[in-house]
Amino acid sequence: MSGGLFDRWRTAPTPLPEPQVPPAVGLQLWLDDQARVQRLAGPLRTLLALPGQAGGRLHDYLLRHSWVVLEGEPADWQGQPLDLDFHTAVGQALHTRGWLLRQAQGWMLQLFDIGDLLREQRWDRQRPLLGEIGHALRECGAARLVQTTEAQLQRLAEHWQARSLRLLLREADGWRHYASSEGAWPWPADRTLQARLQAWPAQGLVEANDDLELLALCGGVSLFLVPCRLGQDTEAWLLCAGAPQLPPADMALALLRTLVEPLLVRHRRQQLHEQAAHLDDLQQQLGAGWWQWPAQGDLQLDPTLAAALELPRRASEQQWLACLHPADREPAQLALAQARDGQALSLNVRVLGNDVQAPPRWLHWAGHGRGGQVRGFLLDISALKAQEQQAGAARARLENLIASSPAVIYVQRYAEGALHSEFFSASLAPVLGWAMDGEQARQPGLAVHPQDRALWLERTRSLLRDGQVRCRYRLRDQRGGYHWILDEARLLRDDLGQPLEVVGLWLDVSEASEAAERMRQSEERYRVLVEDSPAMICRYRPDLTLLFGNRPLADYLGCTPAQLEGADLGQWLSDGQREGFVQRLQALTPEHPVSCAEICLQLPGREHAWWVWADRGLFDDHGRLLEVQAVGRDNTEVRRSQQQLLQGAKMATLGELATGLVHEINQPLNVMRMAVANTLKRLDNGAADPAYLVDKLRRIEAQVERAARLVEHMRVYGRRSALEHVPFAAWDAVAGAQALLEEGLRGKGVALRLECADAQPRVLGHQDQLEQVLINLLVNARDALLEQGRAQPWIRVRQVLEAQCLCLLVDDNAGGIDPHLHARIFEPFFTTKPAGVGTGLGLSVSHGIVAHMGGRLTVSNAGEGACFRIELPLHSTS
């Protein structure tokens, strides 16, 4: 490039006389007054990536960040140096600088390639940074390695004008976050990034702006991925978010290698040191250590182990055997000889200490031999042996207690809906004369008195339903006589609540005196059972005055069991919850005395708690409710998990709409920027009159209000839902979904039709959750329409009133859904989209939201496509 040409684009050129044509150097573009490209010339034109259709504007050839240079029409660009970056056929940007000349019927844009000049300037700026980064990482201490790395990442972020940088290092289980630049940024979890990084080549600089899902996960701004390969493997990834443009790949890779090479050396060395320290700590805590016995020579012990055994680090066989208990010396010699022959060594031995009064220590001696040499470890198991001895003694005492008990203790195993006898204590023969392996012991129901068989069957049903039972019936003994037996049993369940076995006892209460005593004992056992139960058990009157509450209930309510008596249960309920609680009690009848519901309480020290509450009413002879017995179970964590699932689905929806929302906000910003630029130009030229300025300011004000409404709606939509249902107009949720989706649908060519009735009835629930349901249905319909490629795609939302029900209908012209899928479409994780596209939770969460509002969500095929029907009960103000 000659010096004369540089002089031309350094200063504003004067228009050439027409029809003079500049020499064929650089790149020339002939434009009309609307900036449409008429013709290209010059050697650089072969590098350009041409737009998809002829007659495109100059902006179609440029990278998006160059559009800000070309504000207004070509007449506004004249006399200004223009720095423009073009799309090229090879994928890299073409950096140019030039000016605009007036031609006979339009304009001619003369440009020159300045890529080499920019690249050399970047290398000059980057060389000092390379040396400073490497020096900082090599000289810092191990304790400040992470902080120093974060400081260098912050320098890189400022150098590249990036919003955030994140460094991932390879670990044994995949990629792990190591350090980030300053400032909070919504980077996804390491496991999420691992799956995405596998799809990108680990060679050179990668611009990930085409991966919309990864872009949305990383904040929705421009994203660059820079891999660092050391040898054959990629050892690190640098993620750069929000940079307008990174330097060439060789520069970025050189910077990353300068950062990663000393970091990995220091990081690996620090990991090995920490692992060695952790191993020593673990060995000391477990009382373990290594040992090895060469084929010819003395026993070699770990220093810590040798000190614990009071032996030298090298001990002879005689010294080793002398520290063992005499009863273990011969087994130790035999086990060692077998280990030298190649067999595994595993033996528990006792070690004697200097204090003869102290009990011996138990050690587990394990190892394996090869070629006459034996290696292994010693583990202190004294605590395990002590527990084993205590458990054996306790078991012996328990077996003796069961054998000498006057009651028959039994265990029944639950299998396939029935109870099968598995164990009877030794007192079975003295009480009933039954043999342990006899037919009566295997099937006790055959020995029940004929008049008590219905009671026996009810006893089994009650036991499986309620978890415990206490009843009396008659059993036939070995001689044919009958005994009145008091049966007390309890059902044991596993962690999932499934029945495992029944543990119970039989008491012979045939004689009245013995029956009275046994009754008192059984009542005491029942009281202990209630107090020790993890469930919350209480009794109260219909006006919610507590008569009794066990210890778990008192602990939950922050008081003592004595303070519960006479307290009002409704004081822990909100007004709405108390009203629903009382209405549920009023619905109890002698025919249907049981009720179950989930209630919300405001407990001391907690924000809210959710209990699964089961009531059983007790009535007098006239059917009047006298008392209520209740059992409660804490369901707070499950409820919070459900709320977190709903909030996560809502945030996922906002993340999916992020690109469209950014575009929606960017439009008013562009309008305001254009208005400000034109106003400033008028002011500079002295041609701005008050009417023109007022018009521009009003236009800016309208765009600010438009962006503010959208941001406010996004903020309200992203909030967590209230705990209790509130009345709202259902069509307001439709309007909210329209505000978030209409612009994105219009951009994809999908028409959104809304048909609202004149009346605006109200329903009970959460408006943001109903809006979430509508967004899920509209997004699914949009995806189906785009997949089908309909000529004129549309989605329609209608409101229909039917008796005491409000219906929202969402249909489209995408061809419908396979009828065989209707039964499964609302199942969790079921989706018809390709793998990696969608989670299958949208319709499942939507179905749960509508059901929680007391409504129903169904699907059918009607007209030209599928129709989703949301039915919600109307809210009555009376």
Residue 878: pLDDT above 60?
no
In a domain, 490, yes or no: yes
Which of 575, 600, 634 is the C-terminal boundary of a domain? 634
Q: How far is CA 754 from CA 682, 785, 811, in A?
A: 43, 17, 11
Residue 840: pLDDT above 70?
no
| Percent of the chain at pLDDT exceeding 70 | 79
Query: What distance in Å separates the CA atoms of residue 859 and residue 870, rounded to the nearest whole number?
Result: 9
Residue 363 and residue 349 in contact, taking contact as beta carbons nearer than 8 Å: yes
Q: For 139-157, what is the mean pLDDT? A: 82
Q: Are residues 8 and 86 in the same domain?
A: yes
If one counts the domains in the chain, the total is 6
Q: Which domain holds residue 307?
A: 287-385
Q: How far is CA 465 from CA 85, 459, 498, in A?
A: 76, 10, 11
Q: Are residues 273 and 293 in the same domain?
A: no
CA 609 to chain centroid: 22
Bond into 19 cis (ω within 30)? yes
Q: Are residues 548 and 480 in the same domain?
A: no
In a domain, 599, yes or no: yes
Tens-place pLDDT, residues 472-498: 888 998 888 888 888 999 999 988 888
* DSSP code at position 209: T
653 against 585, higher pLDDT: 585
Q: What angle do CA 229, 230, 233 make, to 5 degrees?
A: 65
What value does the mean pLDDT of the chain take? 78
Whether pTM exceeds 0.85: no
Q: H-type helices in 161-223, by residue range?
A: 190-197, 212-217
Q: Which residues of 683-717 are buried (b: 16+ CB within 10 A; e: fewer)?
A: eeeeebeeeeeeebeebbeebeeebeebeebbeeb
Strand spans (E) along 739-815:
751-755, 762-765, 794-802, 805-812
In a domain, 719, yes or no: no
Q: Which two structure tokens, joined as six digits, stand for 32?
A: 């009309």
Give me the pLDDT at residue 126, please.
Answer: 60
> How many CB atoms neighbour CB 81 within 10 A?
14
In a domain, 826, yes or no: yes
Could you tell me the CATH number of the domain that includes residue 262? 3.30.450.40
Give me the pLDDT at residue 296, please.
Answer: 81
Q: Are residues 188 and 267 in the same domain?
A: yes
Residue 512: pLDDT above 70?
no
Query: What distance in Å separates the CA atoms of residue 223 and residue 235, rounded to the nearest whole number?
Result: 20
Residues listed for the chain = 878
Which of 352, 385, 418 is the C-terminal boundary of a domain? 385
Q: Are residues 524 and 410 in the same domain?
A: yes
Residue 797: pLDDT above 80?
yes
Q: Are residues 738 and 814 in the same domain?
A: yes
Residue 203's pLDDT band (boundaries 50, 70, 90)?
A: low
Q: Which two structure tokens, joined as six digits, stand for 828?
A: 């969790």
In a domain, 353, yes or no: yes
- How many CA atoms does the CB half-sphere of 105 hold within 13 Å? 4
Tens-place pLDDT, residues 612-648: 888 989 998 888 898 998 888 887 777 776 666 665 5
Which of 532, 547, 574 is the C-terminal boundary of a domain? 532
Query: What distance in Å separates the CA atoms of residue 627 and residue 616, rounded to the nearest whole number?
Result: 9
Residue 54's pLDDT band (boundaries 50, 70, 90)?
A: low
Q: Which amino acid is at 80?
A: Q
Residue 737: pLDDT above 70?
yes
Q: Which residues of 208-239 are buried (b: 16+ CB within 10 A; e: fewer)?
A: beebeebbbbbbbbbbbbbbbeeeeebbbbbb
Angle between helices 636-656 and 767-788 (to 10 degrees): 50
Query: What distance in Å separates the CA atoms of residue 89 and residue 493, rounded to the nearest whole number?
Result: 69
In a domain, 687, yes or no: no
Residue 513: pLDDT above 50?
no
Query: What distance in Å separates the CA atoms of residue 258 and residue 107, rounded to the nearest whole number?
Result: 48
Query: What distance in Å separates the CA atoms of residue 172 and residue 177, rounded to the nearest whole number?
Result: 13
Could you tell me the CATH number of the domain that includes residue 766? 3.30.565.10
Give me the pLDDT at residue 437, please.
Answer: 84
Give me the pLDDT at residue 4, please.
Answer: 40
Q: For 838-849, what is the mean pLDDT? A: 70
Q: How far is CA 110 from CA 464, 581, 727, in A?
A: 90, 81, 65
Residue 197: pLDDT above 50?
yes
Q: Are residues 320 and 257 in the same domain?
A: no
678 against 568, higher pLDDT: 568
Could you tell me the CATH number of the domain that includes residue 579? 3.30.450.20
Query: What distance in Å separates the CA atoms of residue 347 and residue 327, rounded to the nearest whole number?
Result: 13
Q: Are residues 876 and 730 in the same domain?
A: yes
Q: Are residues 474 and 597 in the same domain?
A: no
The structure tokens 């573009």 sit at 29
Residue 238: pLDDT above 70?
yes
Q: Are residues 266 and 152 in the same domain?
A: yes
CA 492 to chain centroid: 33
Residue 146's pLDDT band (boundaries 50, 70, 90)?
A: confident
Phi/psi region, residue 79 (left: phi>0; alpha: psi -120 to 50; beta: rest), is: left
Residue 20: pLDDT above 50?
no
Q: Are residues 522 and 412 in the same domain?
A: yes
In a domain, 361, yes or no: yes
Q: For 298-315, what is the mean pLDDT? A: 81
Query: What distance in Å separates the CA atoms of residue 104 and residue 111, rounded to the nearest whole number?
Result: 19
Residue 16's pLDDT band (boundaries 50, 70, 90)?
A: very low
Angle between helices 690-718 and 636-656 (to 10 degrees): 150
Tens-place pLDDT, residues 521-543: 766 776 666 666 778 888 899 98
In a domain, 505, yes or no: yes
Q: Which two structure tokens, joined as six digits, stand for 255?
A: 């910077």
Q: Are residues 254 and 292 in the same domain?
A: no
